[in-house]
Structure 1
Amino acid sequence: MNTIKEIPSKETYIVRQPVLRKGKPIESCIFEGDDLDTTHHFGLYKNEDLTGIISLFKQTNPIFAEKNQRQIRGMAILENHQKKGFGDALVKHCEKYCKDNKTELIWFNARTAATGFYKKLGYQIMGDPFEIKDVGEHYLMFKKL
Protein backbone atom coordinates (compact mmCIF):
# COMPACT_ATOMS: atom_id res chain seq x y z
CA MET A 1 0.00 0.00 0.00
CA ASN A 2 1.20 3.54 -0.79
CA THR A 3 0.89 6.41 1.66
CA ILE A 4 1.87 10.07 1.26
CA LYS A 5 2.60 12.06 4.41
CA GLU A 6 4.43 15.21 5.45
CA ILE A 7 8.00 14.57 6.58
CA PRO A 8 10.86 16.70 8.02
CA SER A 9 13.40 18.03 5.50
CA LYS A 10 16.24 15.80 6.74
CA GLU A 11 14.21 12.70 5.87
CA THR A 12 14.26 13.75 2.18
CA TYR A 13 18.06 13.37 1.96
CA ILE A 14 18.01 9.57 1.64
CA VAL A 15 16.10 9.99 -1.64
CA ARG A 16 17.50 13.38 -2.74
CA GLN A 17 21.11 12.19 -2.60
CA PRO A 18 21.05 9.05 -4.78
CA VAL A 19 18.58 10.52 -7.32
CA LEU A 20 19.32 14.26 -7.49
CA ARG A 21 22.87 14.60 -6.09
CA LYS A 22 24.49 11.29 -7.03
CA GLY A 23 28.11 11.14 -5.89
CA LYS A 24 27.88 14.52 -4.15
CA PRO A 25 28.16 15.16 -0.41
CA ILE A 26 25.05 14.97 1.79
CA GLU A 27 25.33 18.77 2.32
CA SER A 28 24.38 19.24 -1.33
CA CYS A 29 20.94 17.82 -0.43
CA ILE A 30 20.14 20.76 1.85
CA PHE A 31 18.10 23.38 -0.01
CA GLU A 32 17.80 26.99 1.06
CA GLY A 33 14.43 27.41 2.76
CA ASP A 34 14.02 23.70 3.60
CA ASP A 35 13.15 24.40 7.20
CA LEU A 36 10.90 27.46 6.83
CA ASP A 37 7.39 27.14 8.30
CA THR A 38 6.00 27.76 4.80
CA THR A 39 7.94 24.83 3.25
CA HIS A 40 6.35 21.39 3.16
CA HIS A 41 8.04 18.08 2.35
CA PHE A 42 5.99 15.05 1.39
CA GLY A 43 7.18 11.46 1.29
CA LEU A 44 5.59 8.56 -0.55
CA TYR A 45 5.88 5.28 1.31
CA LYS A 46 5.43 1.92 -0.36
CA ASN A 47 4.55 -0.29 2.57
CA GLU A 48 6.94 1.19 5.20
CA ASP A 49 9.71 2.26 2.79
CA LEU A 50 10.23 5.87 1.70
CA THR A 51 10.42 5.63 -2.10
CA GLY A 52 9.66 9.14 -3.31
CA ILE A 53 9.78 12.75 -2.15
CA ILE A 54 8.63 16.20 -3.20
CA SER A 55 9.11 19.59 -1.57
CA LEU A 56 6.82 22.60 -1.84
CA PHE A 57 8.23 26.08 -1.21
CA LYS A 58 6.23 29.30 -0.85
CA GLN A 59 8.30 31.10 -3.46
CA THR A 60 7.23 33.77 -5.94
CA ASN A 61 8.69 33.90 -9.43
CA PRO A 62 8.33 37.50 -10.72
CA ILE A 63 7.79 36.21 -14.29
CA PHE A 64 4.24 35.24 -13.26
CA ALA A 65 1.52 37.73 -12.27
CA GLU A 66 -0.18 35.44 -9.73
CA LYS A 67 0.31 36.56 -6.13
CA ASN A 68 -0.03 33.20 -4.40
CA GLN A 69 2.60 30.89 -5.92
CA ARG A 70 4.41 27.75 -4.80
CA GLN A 71 7.56 26.19 -6.18
CA ILE A 72 8.12 22.43 -6.40
CA ARG A 73 11.70 21.35 -5.68
CA GLY A 74 13.51 18.10 -5.09
CA MET A 75 10.96 15.76 -6.66
CA ALA A 76 12.62 12.35 -6.74
CA ILE A 77 11.70 8.67 -6.86
CA LEU A 78 14.27 6.00 -6.00
CA GLU A 79 15.56 4.44 -9.23
CA ASN A 80 14.06 0.95 -8.76
CA HIS A 81 10.61 2.51 -8.11
CA GLN A 82 10.47 4.87 -11.10
CA LYS A 83 7.84 4.58 -13.86
CA LYS A 84 5.23 3.17 -11.44
CA GLY A 85 3.04 6.26 -11.00
CA PHE A 86 4.64 7.44 -7.75
CA GLY A 87 5.81 10.73 -9.27
CA ASP A 88 2.29 11.42 -10.57
CA ALA A 89 0.87 10.72 -7.11
CA LEU A 90 3.31 13.13 -5.44
CA VAL A 91 2.70 15.96 -7.92
CA LYS A 92 -1.08 15.50 -7.63
CA HIS A 93 -0.78 15.52 -3.83
CA CYS A 94 1.02 18.88 -4.05
CA GLU A 95 -1.60 20.24 -6.44
CA LYS A 96 -4.38 19.28 -4.02
CA TYR A 97 -2.47 20.86 -1.13
CA CYS A 98 -2.03 24.03 -3.22
CA LYS A 99 -5.71 24.19 -4.22
CA ASP A 100 -6.75 23.68 -0.57
CA ASN A 101 -4.46 26.59 0.37
CA LYS A 102 -5.59 28.94 -2.41
CA THR A 103 -2.37 28.76 -4.42
CA GLU A 104 -2.94 30.15 -7.91
CA LEU A 105 0.15 28.81 -9.69
CA ILE A 106 2.81 26.11 -9.27
CA TRP A 107 6.19 26.58 -10.95
CA PHE A 108 9.56 24.85 -10.90
CA ASN A 109 12.81 24.32 -12.77
CA ALA A 110 12.58 20.89 -14.43
CA ARG A 111 15.52 18.89 -15.64
CA THR A 112 15.33 18.55 -19.42
CA ALA A 113 14.84 14.77 -19.12
CA ALA A 114 11.77 15.31 -16.88
CA THR A 115 9.86 17.81 -19.05
CA GLY A 116 7.82 15.09 -20.80
CA PHE A 117 6.68 13.72 -17.43
CA TYR A 118 5.44 17.15 -16.31
CA LYS A 119 3.80 17.94 -19.69
CA LYS A 120 1.64 14.82 -19.25
CA LEU A 121 0.43 16.35 -15.96
CA GLY A 122 -0.55 19.61 -17.67
CA TYR A 123 2.55 21.75 -17.00
CA GLN A 124 3.87 24.10 -19.67
CA ILE A 125 7.39 25.24 -20.53
CA MET A 126 8.17 28.96 -20.32
CA GLY A 127 11.21 30.30 -22.19
CA ASP A 128 14.49 28.71 -23.22
CA PRO A 129 16.57 26.03 -21.50
CA PHE A 130 19.14 27.18 -18.95
CA GLU A 131 21.99 25.62 -17.04
CA ILE A 132 22.01 25.07 -13.26
CA LYS A 133 25.62 24.79 -12.10
CA ASP A 134 26.66 21.22 -11.23
CA VAL A 135 23.15 19.90 -12.01
CA GLY A 136 22.53 20.40 -15.74
CA GLU A 137 20.05 21.81 -18.25
CA HIS A 138 16.60 22.85 -16.99
CA TYR A 139 13.38 24.48 -18.19
CA LEU A 140 11.06 26.74 -16.24
CA MET A 141 7.66 25.01 -16.09
CA PHE A 142 4.34 26.08 -14.61
CA LYS A 143 0.66 25.33 -14.21
CA LYS A 144 -2.18 27.65 -13.24
CA LEU A 145 -4.56 26.07 -10.75
Structure 2
Amino acid sequence: MKLIQKIASKQTYTVRNAVLRHGKPIESCRFDGDDLETTTHFGLVVAKNIIGIVSIFQHKSDIFVVGNQYQIRGMAVLEDFQQKGFGRELILYCEKYILTKNGNLIWFNARENAVKFYEKLGYTKQGNPFIIDGIGSHYVMYKMLT
Protein backbone atom coordinates (compact mmCIF):
# COMPACT_ATOMS: atom_id res chain seq x y z
CA MET A 1 0.00 0.00 0.00
CA LYS A 2 1.19 3.50 -0.88
CA LEU A 3 0.04 6.85 0.48
CA ILE A 4 1.18 10.45 0.84
CA GLN A 5 0.69 11.94 4.29
CA LYS A 6 1.78 14.89 6.39
CA ILE A 7 4.85 14.16 8.47
CA ALA A 8 6.97 16.01 11.04
CA SER A 9 10.11 17.78 9.88
CA LYS A 10 12.35 15.29 11.72
CA GLN A 11 10.76 12.44 9.74
CA THR A 12 12.28 13.92 6.57
CA TYR A 13 15.86 13.67 7.84
CA THR A 14 16.54 10.04 6.98
CA VAL A 15 15.57 10.48 3.32
CA ARG A 16 17.18 13.93 3.09
CA ASN A 17 20.39 12.45 4.47
CA ALA A 18 20.44 9.43 2.15
CA VAL A 19 19.61 11.36 -1.04
CA LEU A 20 20.42 15.05 -0.61
CA ARG A 21 23.10 15.16 2.09
CA HIS A 22 24.82 11.79 1.60
CA GLY A 23 27.94 11.53 3.75
CA LYS A 24 27.12 14.66 5.72
CA PRO A 25 26.01 14.77 9.37
CA ILE A 26 22.30 14.30 10.05
CA GLU A 27 22.21 17.85 11.48
CA SER A 28 22.75 19.15 7.91
CA CYS A 29 19.27 17.81 7.09
CA ARG A 30 17.51 20.46 9.17
CA PHE A 31 16.47 23.39 6.99
CA ASP A 32 15.78 26.92 8.18
CA GLY A 33 12.02 27.27 8.43
CA ASP A 34 11.33 23.54 8.81
CA ASP A 35 9.25 24.05 11.92
CA LEU A 36 7.32 27.19 10.97
CA GLU A 37 3.52 26.92 11.05
CA THR A 38 3.50 27.85 7.35
CA THR A 39 5.76 24.90 6.42
CA THR A 40 4.30 21.50 5.55
CA HIS A 41 6.16 18.22 5.07
CA PHE A 42 4.82 15.23 3.17
CA GLY A 43 6.08 11.68 3.13
CA LEU A 44 5.33 9.04 0.53
CA VAL A 45 4.85 5.83 2.51
CA VAL A 46 5.21 2.34 1.07
CA ALA A 47 4.85 -0.70 3.33
CA LYS A 48 4.93 1.58 6.41
CA ASN A 49 8.28 3.11 5.36
CA ILE A 50 8.84 6.69 4.21
CA ILE A 51 10.52 6.33 0.81
CA GLY A 52 10.02 9.85 -0.50
CA ILE A 53 9.66 13.30 1.00
CA VAL A 54 8.98 16.90 0.07
CA SER A 55 8.71 20.09 2.10
CA ILE A 56 6.60 23.11 1.19
CA PHE A 57 7.56 26.52 2.53
CA GLN A 58 5.40 29.62 2.18
CA HIS A 59 8.33 31.74 1.02
CA LYS A 60 8.51 34.61 -1.45
CA SER A 61 11.43 34.92 -3.84
CA ASP A 62 12.41 38.41 -4.96
CA ILE A 63 12.84 36.99 -8.47
CA PHE A 64 9.07 36.75 -8.95
CA VAL A 65 6.45 39.47 -8.55
CA VAL A 66 3.50 37.11 -7.93
CA GLY A 67 2.05 37.39 -4.44
CA ASN A 68 1.31 33.99 -2.93
CA GLN A 69 4.47 31.96 -3.55
CA TYR A 70 5.49 28.59 -2.20
CA GLN A 71 8.96 27.07 -2.27
CA ILE A 72 9.55 23.35 -2.51
CA ARG A 73 12.63 22.11 -0.67
CA GLY A 74 14.10 18.73 0.08
CA MET A 75 12.23 16.76 -2.59
CA ALA A 76 13.80 13.31 -2.54
CA VAL A 77 13.03 9.66 -3.19
CA LEU A 78 15.25 6.87 -1.88
CA GLU A 79 17.47 5.45 -4.61
CA ASP A 80 15.79 2.01 -4.70
CA PHE A 81 12.46 3.71 -5.47
CA GLN A 82 13.63 6.23 -8.07
CA GLN A 83 12.49 6.03 -11.71
CA LYS A 84 9.12 4.58 -10.63
CA GLY A 85 6.98 7.72 -10.74
CA PHE A 86 7.06 8.45 -6.99
CA GLY A 87 8.79 11.82 -7.40
CA ARG A 88 6.18 12.84 -9.95
CA GLU A 89 3.40 11.84 -7.53
CA LEU A 90 4.94 13.95 -4.77
CA ILE A 91 5.24 17.04 -6.97
CA LEU A 92 1.68 16.71 -8.32
CA TYR A 93 0.43 16.28 -4.74
CA CYS A 94 2.28 19.47 -3.75
CA GLU A 95 0.70 21.38 -6.61
CA LYS A 96 -2.80 20.34 -5.52
CA TYR A 97 -2.03 21.19 -1.89
CA ILE A 98 -0.63 24.62 -2.79
CA LEU A 99 -3.73 25.35 -4.87
CA THR A 100 -5.85 24.72 -1.75
CA LYS A 101 -3.77 27.45 -0.07
CA ASN A 102 -4.47 29.82 -2.99
CA GLY A 103 -0.85 29.66 -4.07
CA ASN A 104 -0.03 31.32 -7.39
CA LEU A 105 3.50 30.10 -7.97
CA ILE A 106 5.82 27.27 -6.97
CA TRP A 107 9.55 27.83 -7.13
CA PHE A 108 12.64 25.96 -5.98
CA ASN A 109 16.35 25.44 -6.48
CA ALA A 110 16.73 22.33 -8.64
CA ARG A 111 19.93 20.35 -8.87
CA GLU A 112 21.25 20.45 -12.39
CA ASN A 113 20.74 16.69 -12.81
CA ALA A 114 17.02 17.06 -11.88
CA VAL A 115 16.15 19.84 -14.35
CA LYS A 116 14.77 17.51 -17.06
CA PHE A 117 12.54 15.78 -14.48
CA TYR A 118 10.97 19.10 -13.50
CA GLU A 119 10.70 20.33 -17.08
CA LYS A 120 8.58 17.24 -17.90
CA LEU A 121 6.22 18.43 -15.15
CA GLY A 122 5.89 21.89 -16.68
CA TYR A 123 8.50 23.79 -14.67
CA THR A 124 10.73 26.42 -16.29
CA LYS A 125 14.32 27.43 -15.54
CA GLN A 126 14.83 31.03 -14.44
CA GLY A 127 18.25 32.57 -14.95
CA ASN A 128 21.68 30.98 -14.99
CA PRO A 129 23.00 28.05 -12.98
CA PHE A 130 24.52 28.79 -9.58
CA ILE A 131 26.48 26.81 -7.01
CA ILE A 132 25.23 25.92 -3.54
CA ASP A 133 28.35 25.31 -1.45
CA GLY A 134 28.95 21.66 -0.72
CA ILE A 135 26.01 20.54 -2.84
CA GLY A 136 26.59 21.61 -6.45
CA SER A 137 25.10 23.35 -9.45
CA HIS A 138 21.42 24.42 -9.33
CA TYR A 139 18.84 26.35 -11.32
CA VAL A 140 15.90 28.30 -9.97
CA MET A 141 12.79 26.70 -11.47
CA TYR A 142 9.16 27.75 -11.24
CA LYS A 143 5.62 27.07 -12.34
CA MET A 144 2.60 29.37 -12.31
CA LEU A 145 -0.47 27.64 -10.86
CA THR A 146 -3.13 30.25 -11.56
TM-score by length of 1: 0.99
Aligned residue number for residue 94 of structure 1: 94
Q: Secondary structure at the match of 2:80?
A: helix
Alignment of 1:16-27 (within 5 A): 16-27=16-27
Q: Which residue of 1 aligns with 2:13?
A: 13
Partner secondary structure for residue 66 of structure 2: coil
1:120 equivalent to 2:120? Answer: yes
Q: Which runs of 4+ in 1 moved over 3 A?
A: none
Tell me how far apart the structure 1 counterparts of residues 52 and 63 of structure 2 sit (CA, whole Å): 29
Measured in 2, the distance between the counterparts of 1:23 and 1:116 equals: 25
Distance 1:49 1:30 in 2: 20
- Report whether the alignment pairs 1:130 with 2:130: yes
Query: Partner amino acid for 2:8?
Result: P
- Over residues 35-83 of structure 1, what are the superposed CA-to-partner deviations in whole Å (9 max), with x where a residue is unaligned? 0000000000112111000000010001111110000000000000000
CA distance in 2, matches of 1:62, 1:138: 17
Correspondence list, 1:1-145, <5 A: 1-145=1-145
What amino acid does structure 1 have at the position aligned with 2:89? A
Deviations, residues 65-124 of structure 1 (Å, cap 9, x unaligned) = 111000000000000000000000000010000111100000000000000000000000
**Alpha-carbon separation, structure 2, partners of 1:110 and 1:92:** 16
Give distance in 1, aligned partners of 2:58 and 2:101: 11
Counterpart code for 1:144? M
Once residues 107 and 2 of structure 1 are traced to their aligned partners in structure 2, the CA distance between those partners, rounded to angstroms, is 26
Aligned-partner Cα distance in 2 for 1:144–1:65: 11
> Partners in 1 of 2:83 and 2:25 — Cα distance?
27
Q: What secondary structure sits across from 1:88 in the alignment?
A: helix
Percentage of identical aligned residues: 55
Question: 2: CA distance between counterparts of 1:116 and 1:64?
Answer: 22
Give aligned pairs, total.
Answer: 145
Letter in 1 for 2:57: F
Q: CA RMSD, aligned part only? A: 0.5
